[in-house]
């Protein structure tokens, strides 16, 4: 904000910034110390030294991934698979909702309304407890399908806004070259729309990592579930939860950083 | 695609054939292969039941769960609004300290899965706070029927500590999203408004409370209302910390009755019925505000 900038200039020189940074770090340290002490007073026994063995261990110089690392792999696998499906579903639904077809429009509309007005957890339960026994789908795929159906609804809105942001003249040009709608989509519209769509879609991928934690409720051994099972065995509630949270934080921050860089190079390439 | 004339296209016919094909294959499958006896007659009991002792109609488990979901969402969004407004103002503060605090808060909350956050808040904060403030002890000493108003607003008193930690967790979580909405709302207010109010001799607090925030809130009203819908949906996650809302009621009934298919179908419909009117209202609100802009 421009107003704030002028404010900032009066207010904060470099000195001020480092002073505030110092106070901030002090504040964080105090709060964490208070929480630490408070929990110890309530009879909690901190045992951070036990945590590394849950991440990985060395046995005769052989790297053995611990349960948390295995869980992280499952989380990443689910996220990756679901993202591919999300992309397909999102694009498909966006094209359906932009088509002239009445049935296509209604189909897209019904799908969007159902997905966006019910919680993901319930969709997951529905998929796992109702749909998967009927069609004999494994729990893992039920979770992946539920996640991608959910994210697909949001991705389709991103695709739709990207496609409608393309100038009308581009369509007319494609048609006047003698192409049909398929030609227009593949050769003219989508190549222009996808670079615009990339940043919000990257945000959707990060949301997918976070939402994938919910699959632990249907007994899939992802990072969260591994955390829960370690806690039920060892009662290291806080240590394990903080480690799990930090792992998610690292994954999402790394992902957003790389996707940001990718999107930037993508933009300059176009 | 810009030809808006409504007519039957080839895509229509294709999709219709696919839909009819899938539906008939499904019904054939249901009729012949699926070994499940549908029994919808148990469901109404869980929505309302007739109490033979008092002769009144009482809310069933699912309705009670729905009420808890509503209470939880309303309280959470109220507290989240308070947290979000404070943090949103911090976010645009000239002091780096305040900006650091709020961006750490938002960054942490938005990059950790809600499920994990809920576990951490519940075990770490909820437990400590509830026993520190003595609410746990208080809840044991009170009876439901002595405090009808309290029961109306917060639900059964025996569940009060769990409910409050649920509200605390949800509001800290939704607060991060509201922070961003408030910040965007404040940034959308033209800078002339700041300059004009400064020229009138307002200090920063007065500028915010009298000039900037009213405009920011009225502009971001649809987004805030949308966040309320998200709160209702996210509240299903607190079922993992045994707060007896709709999802929890569904899980309990499932393990008690084994009517898995019927119960989850009903629960999903109940959530839809709860949020869909809000969605329509939000869309209407958005339309109205945009119309005002065009004029």
Query: Is A4 close to B92, i.e. CB distance below 8 A?
Result: yes
Q: A-B interface: how many C-beta pairs under 8 angstroms?
A: 179
Given a cut of 60, whether residue B5 has pLDDT beyond it is no
Task: Please give the tally of structural domains in chain B.
Answer: 1
Given a cut of 80, whether residue B290 has pLDDT beyond it is no
Q: Residue B120 is part of which domain span?
A: 70-244
Reduced to 3 DSSP states, what percent helix, strand and coil does chain B have, rounded to the nearest 5? 80, 0, 15
**In the prediction, which pLDDT does A214 show?**
92
Q: Which of A3, A209, A245 sits opposite B195 (nearest CB)?
A: A3
B25 near A CB under 8 A: no
What the block records as the tokens of B35 is 């070994």
Query: Is A119 close to B271, i.e. CB distance below 8 A?
Result: yes
For B33, the 3-state DSSP assignment is: coil
Q: Which of A4, A20, A118 sits opposite B97 (nearest CB)?
A: A20
CA distance A73 to A223: 8
**In the prediction, which pLDDT does A1 show?**
44
Q: Which of A96, A100, A104, A162 to mutate to test the interface with B (most CBs of B within 10 A)?
A: A100
Taking each helix axis from N to C end, the angle separating B61-91 and B96-111, rounded to the nearest 10 degrees, works out to 150
pLDDT tens profile B242-287: 888 899 999 988 888 888 888 898 999 999 999 999 999 998 988 8
Query: Is B264 close to A130, i.e. CB distance below 8 A?
Result: yes
More confident residue, B170 or B57: B170
B275 near A CB under 8 A: yes
CB B250 within 8 A of CB B187: no
Question: Is residue B12 domain-resident?
Answer: no
Given a cut of 80, whether residue B177 has pLDDT beyond it is yes
CB A150 within 8 A of CB B268: no
**pLDDT-flagged residues of chain A (< 70):** 1-13, 266-270
B131 near A CB under 8 A: yes
For B8, the 3-state DSSP assignment is: coil
Phi, psi (degrees; rounded to nearest 5) at B259: -85, 60
**In the prediction, which pLDDT does A16 show?**
81
- Give me the residue label for tokens 């002490």: A37
**CA atoms lying within 13 Å on the CB side of residue A96:** 21
Given a cut of 70, whether residue B292 has pLDDT beyond it is no
Domains and their CATH numbers in chain A? 66-269 (1.10.3720.10)
Q: What residue of B is the nearest CA neighbor of A36?
A: B124
Task: List the beta bridge partners of residue B59.
Answer: B48
Query: Is B92 close to A2, i.e. CB distance below 8 A?
Result: no
Phi, psi (degrees; rounded to nearest 5) at B6: -85, 120
pLDDT tens profile B225-243: 989 999 999 999 988 888 8
CA distance A43 to A61: 38
CB B179 within 8 A of CB B102: yes
Q: What is the nearest CA distance from B144 to chain A, expressed in angstroms?
A: 29
What the block records as the tokens of B98 is 């305040």
Question: Is residue B172 domain-resident?
Answer: yes
Query: Is A103 close to B11, i.e. CB distance below 8 A?
Result: yes
Question: Is residue B23 domain-resident?
Answer: no
> C-alpha A43: how far from its chain's center?
36
The CATH number of the domain where B164 resides is what?
A: 1.10.3720.10
pLDDT tens profile B27-67: 888 777 777 777 777 778 778 777 777 777 777 888 888 99
Question: Is residue B267 domain-resident?
Answer: no
CA distance B226 to B220: 10
What the block records as the tokens of B70 is 């509503």
CB B278 within 8 A of CB B225: yes
Q: Which of A11, A99, A114 sits opposite B1 (nearest CB)?
A: A99
CB B118 within 8 A of CB A253: no
CB A88 within 8 A of CB B242: no
**In the prediction, which pLDDT does B200 show?**
92
Phi, psi (degrees; rounded to nearest 5) at B275: -90, -30
Q: What is the nearest CA distance from B157 to chain A, expressed in angstroms?
A: 24
Query: Is A238 close to B124, i.e. CB distance below 8 A?
Result: yes
Q: What residue of A is the nearest CA neighbor of B248?
A: A122
For B140, the 3-state DSSP assignment is: helix
B100 near A CB under 8 A: yes
């Amino acid at each position: 904000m421009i107003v704030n900038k002028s404010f900032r200039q009066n207010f904060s020189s470099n000195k001020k910034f480092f002073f505030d940074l110092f106070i901030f770090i002090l504040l964080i340290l105090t709060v964490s110390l208070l929480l630490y002490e408070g929990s110890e007073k309530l009879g909690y026994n901190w045992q951070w030294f036990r945590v590394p063995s849950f991440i990985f261990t060395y046995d005769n110089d052989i790297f053995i991934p611990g349960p948390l690392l295995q869980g992280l792999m499952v989380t990443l696998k689910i996220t990756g698979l679901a993202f591919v499906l999300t992309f397909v579903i999102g694009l498909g639904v966006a094209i359906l909702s932009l088509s002239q077809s009445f049935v296509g429009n209604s189909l897209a509309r019904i799908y969007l309304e159902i997905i966006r007005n019910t919680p993901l957890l319930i969709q997951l339960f529905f998929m796992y407890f109702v749909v998967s026994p009927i069609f004999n789908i494994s729990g893992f795929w039920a979770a992946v399908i539920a996640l991608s159906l959910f994210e697909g609804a949001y991705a389709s809105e991103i695709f739709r806004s990207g496609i409608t942001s393309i100038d009308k003249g581009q369509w007319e040009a494609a048609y006047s070259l003698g192409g049909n709608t398929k030609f227009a989509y593949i050769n003219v519209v989508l190549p222009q729309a996808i670079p615009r769509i990339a940043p919000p879609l990257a945000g959707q991928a990060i949301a997918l990592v976070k939402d994938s934690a919910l699959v632990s409720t249907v007994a899939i051994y992802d990072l969260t579930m591994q955390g829960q099972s370690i806690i039920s065995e060892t009662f290291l509630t806080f240590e394990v939860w903080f480690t799990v949270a930090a792992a998610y934080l690292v994954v999402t921050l790394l992902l957003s950083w790389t996707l940001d860089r990718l999107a930037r190079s993508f933009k300059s390439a176009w | 695609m810009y030809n808006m004339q409504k007519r039957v296209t080839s895509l229509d016919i294709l999709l219709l054939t696919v839909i009819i094909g899938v539906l008939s294959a499904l019904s054939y499958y249901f009729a012949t292969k699926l070994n499940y006896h549908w029994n919808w007659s148990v469901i109404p009991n869980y929505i309302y039941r007739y109490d033979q002792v008092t002769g009144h109609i009482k809310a069933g488990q699912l309705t009670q769960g729905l009420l808890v979901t509503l209470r939880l969402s309303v309280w959470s969004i109220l507290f989240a609004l308070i947290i979000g407004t404070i943090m949103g103002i911090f976010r645009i503060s000239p002091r780096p300290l305040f900006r650091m605090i709020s961006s750490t808060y938002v960054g942490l909350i938005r990059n950790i899965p809600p499920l994990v956050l809920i576990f951490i808040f519940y075990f770490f904060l909820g437990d400590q706070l509830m026993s520190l403030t003595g609410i746990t002890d208080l809840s044991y000493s009170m009876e439901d029927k002595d405090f009808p108003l309290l029961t109306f607003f917060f639900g059964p008193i025996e569940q009060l500590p769990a409910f409050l930690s649920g509200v605390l967790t949800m509001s800290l979580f939704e607060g991060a999203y509201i922070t961003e909405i408030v910040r965007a709302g404040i940034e959308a207010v033209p800078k002339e408004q700041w300059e004009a109010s400064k020229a009138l001799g307002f200090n920063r607090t007065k500028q915010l409370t009298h000039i900037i925030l009213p405009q920011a809130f009225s502009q971001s009203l649809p987004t805030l209302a949308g966040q309320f819908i998200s709160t209702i949906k996210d509240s299903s996650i607190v079922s993992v910390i045994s707060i007896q809302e709709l999802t929890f009621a569904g899980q309990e009934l499932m393990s008690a009755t084994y009517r898995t298919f019927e119960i989850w179908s009903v629960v999903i419909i109940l959530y839809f019925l709860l949020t869909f009117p809000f969605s329509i209202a939000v869309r209407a609100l958005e339309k109205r505000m945009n119309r005002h802009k065009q004029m």
